[in-house]
Structure 1
Amino acid sequence: MRYLLEKELLSVLYRGKSVEQFLGYGSTDKTIRWIELRPKVETSEVWLFEVENIGSNDYLDVYSFPEVDGSNSQALVTLQPEKAIQYCYEELNAIPTCWVNQGVIQDEYANLLSQN
């Protein structure tokens, strides 16, 4: 199963592992975006990444794509994990059923490419 259940999110974060959610295209179809929740001591950082959409079916390493306008330079907010998740829903339009473990975001990107 690719997607984490909503009740699993806190467990993953409290184990010190990041979770991510692919948001699709960014401000244009030349960019893509995703959220990462990074656990810290008793808090989680919310990171929003926007990178150039330079991939292909043979090049899915979104982590290596050039960032757009310094978007990867800092966390948006640092909150208690429950509040960080809620922030993602309210401010970044995250979907409760689309969280994945770190590293699976490339599969999400592959799905986007296959739809075009």
Structure 2
Amino acid sequence: MRHLTRSFAEGTLRRGREVEQLLEAFEEDGRRGLRWASISPATRFHGFIVRLHVVEDLDDTYRLTVDEYLSFHETDEEDFGQTIGETESAQAAIDLANRELGADPTRWVNQGVLQDEYNDYLKQGRPLGRWQPS
């Protein structure tokens, strides 16, 4: 099973690992994009950072990993995602991502597994809207 239960996601975060979640696909000005969330342990304090990443859906044959896709919005800086908030606990971070981004508390995956979610999205024909894995 790819998705982490809420308690496993919290444990992953407390062990210093990141979790990620594909949120949705959208189209704007004739371009396709993806929104995905990440929660990572903070390096400057003992807490967690919730981020939203908005990237261009390249659908290229080389299939870079989603976290290597170009930012949807033009920027000269490397895009590490928009910080949604910082929390003291893993539980609060998951709650924040749910409240602010609509992230499902039961659909987090370990860092690096987001690409498997993206591959499923491709197999389903790149549907627009909230991502609902089958």
Q: Structures share a fold, TM > 0.5?
A: yes
In structure 1, what residue type is equivalent to 2:54? E
If you compute each CA radius of gyration, which structure gives the higher value, 1 or 2? 2
Aligned residues: 116
> Post-superposition, which runs of at least 4 consecutive aligned residues in structure 1 deviate over 3 A?
26-29, 70-74
In the alignment, structure 1 residue 59 sits paired with structure 2 residue 67: no
- Provide closer, same or farther for how the CA distance between residues 75 and 6 of structure 1 changes in structure 2, counting only shifts above 3 A: same
Q: Hey, what's the Cα distance between the residues in 1 that align with 2:81 and 2:103?
A: 21
Contact residue 35 and residue 55 of structure 2 kept, 8 A: yes
In the alignment, structure 1 residue 89 sits paired with structure 2 residue 98: yes
Q: Kindly, what percent of the aligned residue pairs are identical?
A: 34
Q: What TM-score do you get using the length of structure 2 for normalisation? A: 0.77
- Provide closer, same or farther for how the CA distance between residues 55 and 67 of structure 1 changes in structure 2, counting only shifts above 3 A: same
In structure 2, what residue type is equivalent to 1:51? V
In structure 2, what residue type is equivalent to 1:101? N
In the alignment, structure 1 residue 102 sits paired with structure 2 residue 111: yes
| Structure 2 counterpart of 1:12 | 12
Unmatched runs of 5 consecutive residues or more in structure 2: 126-134
After superposition, give the CA deviation of every residue in 1:35-94 in whole Å (9 maximum; x if it has no partner): 000112421000110100002464141121100225635422111222111011111011
Contact residue 60 and residue 109 of structure 1 kept, 8 A: no
CA RMSD in angstroms comes to 1.9
After superposition, give the CA deviation of every residue in 1:13-34 in whole Å (9 maximum; x if it has no partner): 1100000111121454700111
Contact residue 19 and residue 102 of structure 1 kept, 8 A: yes
Which one of 72, 76, 87 corresponds to residue 79 of structure 1? 87
